[in-house]
Structure 1
Amino acid sequence: MLLLVFCLKTLVMCGSCTLELFGRYKDEQEDAILEEGMEKFCNDLCVDPAEFRVLVLAWKFQAATMCKFTRYNRVLEGMGADSIEGICSRFTYMLLEAQVEENFKDLYRFTFQFGLDAEEGQRSLQREIAIALWRLVFTQDTPEILERWLEFLAENPSGIRGISRDTWNMFLNFTQAIGSDLSNYSEDEAWPSLFDTFVEWELEPVSRFNLETW
């Protein structure tokens, strides 16, 4: 009985600490941590807002969009962290957790939604945002094909209006199934058409010239 009372008191104290921590950064008008609070939060964590650890933290908090964290006391309590120091001490574990295949797949899919402007009702990522997020989400384990894919997106903007959820999700499968020399790629398989264009751009100099002067 005494142990139960002690545990309940500990939970109440932890909840109070996490709410206090949240209150330190939350917006005065909205019950969320917004851009200004996020900057201060990241400064206190000694991390760059644009680095991979912040993306992993956003994934753990299931943040709906960039620069906006809503109440996260349950997440922090689940992590066993109720202070800035506590969060910092969990970073190594969180990065290892993100390397587990199923966890990374979840993080990868989360990143697409995270990059959308929910207030604008976006359904696809702007090309520049997609390039930045691809480079970010693959920080720990970079596919050989990634830089060539990003170069293709950067050099051929005219025909690329945005990156759909399907294209984003399928690119992870692409990096796992297709060799870096692209020799086992087949247009007969159900890949997004943008992948067909990329492979042509990579393998056929004439096609590359035509796209660059399109």
Structure 2
Amino acid sequence: MNLKMHPVLLASCLVLLSACSTTRTGDRLVSMNEAKTLQADEWTSFANQLRDSMSPSVNRLVGQNNDQPLILTLGNFVNKTPRREFSDARDVMYNEIRKSLVNTGMVRVSMLGAGGSSDVDTVLAQIKEDTRSDPEFSSDSNVDALGQAKKPEWVLFGEIVSIESREGRRTQYDYAVNLRLLSVRDGASVWEDQIVFSKQFEKGLFGG
């Protein structure tokens, strides 16, 4: 059977399809829920951008450390957005950051002090106290018998913020991750950056 659609009916169908809610990220169409958070592949992209941005500072610090890898820990990445999804995705984010940095061969990641308080000074003080009071850290060596990182010398902190703006039926979500690499010894910042992701959601003509 040869089925043909009347031009008027075809045009009506296209109008209905265009009225559906879609979000465009680059060349992809995604759901509204995806527009309100970052997906796994975006966290991977974030970690790679972080690594690339940190590389010049890491190379300089490694050179000052007799070409020994840096030992750092991941401080708390504070979720300052109204969306719980960013808190739920914290483990995914930490895993991506850890993989991206460790695989450079220039960084070792210690889990001492990972996460913790949202207050930077509190985290730095706690790491110092832990390394003083734990017999494991009585040795001057920064690695244990298995070569795992022990004493963190640096802490990577972050905070996630969002800005939501509307124009007509279109809503734009800008997510910024503000980053700082601080010295455990004196709290000095040796590297800072901001990585931004933008997404747009277009509301359907019929409110869908």
Q: TM-score range by the shorter chain?
A: under 0.3
Between Structure 1 and Structure 2, the one with more helix by share is 1
Larger relative contact order, structure 1 or 2 (CA cutoff 8 Å, min sep 6)? 2
TM-score, structure 1 as length reference? 0.27
Structure with larger Rg: 2
TM-score, structure 2 as length reference? 0.27
